[in-house]
Amino acid sequence: MFKKLAMLLTCVLTFTVWQTAQAVPASFQWGSFSASGSTTFGAYDTNATTVLASGDLVQLLWVGANGVIDAPGGNGGAGGDDVLLGSTSVQNSGTLPPPLRDKGYVPLATMTFDSADSYANGTVYLRAWNAATANGATAYGDSATGTLSDGGVLNAARWYVSSAPTAVGMISAETNPLPTSLLLMLSLLLLTGITRRAWLLAK
């Protein structure tokens, strides 16, 4: 019995190693920015003419398997089957040169992921809030969509917040999902230990 268990675990281990080999590190840039100071980029408030303030929250989300942008969840995170991939903020001053200030820009951020992740090559979008946290905001707005591809960029064209959030509670911690390769490596270590123990017991 122990020998059969060891053989089964070895097969599972082999498959896990194969899956790990298929995962390729990838990167993607996202934001809304123009090096020339163009006003065709940036996030704006409800009147569509006033830029969002420095520090206002901007999120990157995947539309999920249904391919539809869902309204935010009760904590200001992803709603429906959408997935929150990252967060940043509007920048109007700081390190930006004077010609690029007060434009509501979202400087391009880089996201790293694995090519085997479920959201790889999926549809993504930006969601801006007119406050530093979702629970402090009175409105949010979604940008045009893009494709999350290796080496790709979603530099969203100018958009504004217009939808009132409903039942937005305390904003939760926003972190990137664990890469598939890391999860597979942890599974590999666990299965290696189980297989070794089963093999020793079978001897």
Band of residue 14 on the pLDDT scale cut at 50, 70, 90: very low
Instruction: Report the alpha-carbon distance of residue 115 to residue 107 in Å, rounded.
Output: 24
pLDDT over threshold 50, residue 11: no
Q: What is the pLDDT of residues 74-118, one digit of tens each?
A: 788 999 999 999 999 999 998 999 999 999 999 999 999 998 999
Burial of 60 (0-12, 13-18, 19+ CB in 10 A): buried
User: Alpha-carbon dihedral of residues 87, 97, 157, 140, nearest 10 degrees?
Assistant: 40
Measured over the CA atoms of residue 151, residue 104, residue 96 and residue 76, the dihedral's sign is negative
- pLDDT at position 129, please? 97
Q: What is the pLDDT of residues 25-68, one digit of tens each?
A: 999 999 999 999 999 999 999 999 999 999 999 999 999 999 99
- pLDDT at position 7, please? 54
Question: 94 — alpha (psi -120 to 50), left (phi > 0) or beta?
Answer: left
Kind and range of the H or E element at 4? helix 2-22
Two structure tokens written together for 5: 């268990």
Two structure tokens written together for 146: 């893009």
Two structure tokens written together for 6: 């060891």
Burial of 99 (0-12, 13-18, 19+ CB in 10 A): exposed
Which residue stretches of 37-179 are H helix? Answer: none
> pTM of the full predicted structure?
0.73
Q: What is the pLDDT of residues 184-203, one digit of tens each?
A: 555 555 555 655 655 555 55
The string of DSSP codes covering 46-66 is TTSSSBPPTT-EEEEEE-TTT
Band of residue 22 on the pLDDT scale cut at 50, 70, 90: low
Task: Map tokens 């079978």 to a residue.
Answer: 202
Stretch 11-24: mean pLDDT: 50
- pLDDT at position 184, please? 53
Across the chain, mean pLDDT equals 82
Instruction: Report the alpha-carbon distance of residue 127 to residue 155 in Å, rounded.
Output: 13
Residue pair 32/125 in contact by the 8 Å Cβ criterion = no
Instruction: Report the alpha-carbon distance of residue 21 to residue 41 in Å, rounded.
Output: 39
- pLDDT at position 165, please? 82
